[in-house]
Structure 1
Amino acid sequence: MGNLNQNINYDEFKLNLISDILQLDCKSWQGNYILHKSNNDMVLSYYKALAFDDMLPGDVKRNAAQQFNDLQLGFKDQFFVTFKDFNDIINDHYEYRYCKFYLLDDEGKLNFGLSFSKKNAIDIDLNNDKLFRLENEIFIPDNFLIKKNEFTKQDGFRDQIKIKIPSKKVTEMIQFELPIIRDYNERVSHSFIIQKLKFTMLKFPADYEDKYGNTYKSDRISFSVKPYLPEVNDNLINDFDAGDLKP
């Protein structure tokens, strides 16, 4: 395993840990395997992740990302979030059950609001929910209610999406159970130094239900997430999507 510890701060040399925790999807291990910047074709497969139940096949993710861009809404299609700050916020709010990502109209640009809540509901409880807004790749404390209302107002972003996809409800919020987020963060950062997470906006194809048996994602807006590892071919890192789309 040569320089595993040097490159990814991992010093456990057991094949069962390498295959399960490190999650490198290699067909065979032949003696020393060197991990360094030139290994751009390494397949990083988070196939046993405890969180984000849905692992998107690469072709599905690329198709869904392209379909989002084909809507020609002029929205930003990728967001980066600094991992350490995000992980700290998640761990600081362990007593909440839900982690909610709201779509915002942030001064004419698509953005994310983050809410920690104990309620399975799309509405924001200003008295009890903890609110943050994404700014410069970090979630900062912010009451984003006005920006959420801008997204849903008449002729706003929600209506623009509805014109493009008239057969479906427009996603306003993507909800996760907070323990799932915590498990995911722990798993992906166990063996790799993760600087950022990469969120990619998606519009699932209309035949998604027929192909994958998912009854509520077909033709709907969502996002996928994966670790951002600039030294690795981005197409070889699996995306996950397990959010509950609201409404």
Structure 2
Amino acid sequence: MELEKLNQEKTYKKNFFIKEIKKEIEEIFIENYNKLGIKELTKSFLIDLEIFEKVISNNINKSFCKFYLIQKDGSLNLGLSFSNNEDCPIKRDNLFDDDVLYVLENDTITPKDFREMKTDFVNGIGAKLPTHPENKKDTLISYKLGEITSYLEDMKNLHHDIYALKFNMFQYSPTNIDQELSAHFIERDKRIAFCVHVLFGKKKHLYGESAGYDLGNLKP
């Protein structure tokens, strides 16, 4: 049975990354994404928190965590790269500072080289996405690893029983609902990304869901 939301937690008073996405804005962006009409697109992803934190711990010597858009089994998926650079190319030179690669599989994270799946996305789903300013192609969302660990720490201070992260896929568009971020949304018009929520307080078929945050740096 599908889980039902216990409540939509409001945490707008503290903007951890400045880029908190208000619910009404997220709904607009999700609608944009759904209207693309590309059947291979995935609406959301779920990651078990304990598994994610273990993967982070194993790669704490890296500076960045990059979420690549990939195509797996015909559908949009996410590949994770723990890296010491923020560039788009994946570094795999059999050296000590190579990128460490993983793929989301259901709600777990599996070590796997996803470079072919990245190419499949570019030639498949990516080719169906609309062009946007400067003819940039959506490739990845990059985070400083310290931003992720700080986010998780802050969320745990609010919710002591977090069990998962939920990534809602969306497409940016201009909006004046949040004046502070309006220029940010114009700059990212038509680009694909996601909004991150924490899920907490799971009890039978009920759970709580935090406000959503977008702190990633789109590349290129």
TM-score class, shorter = 0.7 to 0.9
2:83 counterpart residue number: 117
Choose from 169, 192, 202 the match for 1:201: 169
Q: What TM-score do you get using the length of structure 1 for normalisation?
A: 0.75
Structure 2: any 5+ residue segments left out of the alignment?
none
Is structure 2 residue 198 aligned with structure 1 residue 227?
A: yes
Q: Structure 1 or 2: larger strand share? A: 2
Deviations 1:100-138 (A, max 9, x none): 000001020100000001012000001300000001211
Provide the C-alpha distance between the structure 1 equivalents of 2:193 and 2:25, rounded to a whole number of angstroms.
Answer: 13
Provide the C-alpha distance between the structure 2 equivalents of 1:106 and 1:181, rounded to a whole number of angstroms.
Answer: 25
Greater Rg, structure 1 or structure 2? 1
**Alignment CA distance shift 1:72-1:194 (3 Å):** same
Provide the C-alpha distance between the structure 2 equivalents of 1:64 and 1:189, rounded to a whole number of angstroms.
Answer: 27
Specify the code of the residue in structure 2 equivalent to 1:122.
C
Provide the C-alpha distance between the structure 2 equivalents of 1:133 and 1:115, rounded to a whole number of angstroms.
Answer: 9
Choose from 180, 199, 216 the match for 2:187: 216
Structure 1: any 5+ residue segments left out of the alignment?
1-38
Deviation at 1:240, TM superposition (A): 0.1
**Alignment CA distance shift 1:49-1:207 (3 Å):** closer
SS in 2 for 1:104: strand
2:57 counterpart residue number: 91
Contact 2:102/2:110 (8 A) holds in 1: yes
Deviation at 1:166, TM superposition (A): 5.2
| 1:111-190 alignment, distance < 5 Å | 111-127=77-93, 128-153=98-123, 156-162=124-130, 165=131, 167=133, 168-190=135-157
Q: What TM-score do you get using the length of structure 2 for normalisation?
A: 0.83
**Alignment CA distance shift 1:53-1:206 (3 Å):** closer
Instruction: Please identify, of 204-213 and 144-153, the stretch whose mean Cα deviation from structure 2 is larger.
Output: 204-213
Specify the code of the residue in structure 1 equivalent to 2:121.
F
Deviations 1:178-217 (A, max 9, x none): 1000111122123421111100001011447995121532
Deviation at 1:76, TM superposition (A): 1.1
Deviations 1:37-85 (A, max 9, x none): xx945744164354x4310011000110111001011111111000110
Q: How many residues align?
A: 202
Choose from 45, 63, 66 the match for 2:28: 63
Report sequence identity in percent: 26
| 1:68-79 alignment, distance < 5 Å | 68-74=33-39, 75-79=41-45
| Aligned-residue CA RMSD (Å) | 2.3
Specify the code of the residue in structure 2 equivalent to 1:242.
L
Contact 1:209/1:216 (8 A) holds in 2: no
Contact 1:81/1:196 (8 A) holds in 2: yes
Contact 1:176/1:244 (8 A) holds in 2: yes
Provide the C-alpha distance between the structure 1 equivalents of 2:28 and 2:8, rounded to a whole number of angstroms.
Answer: 22
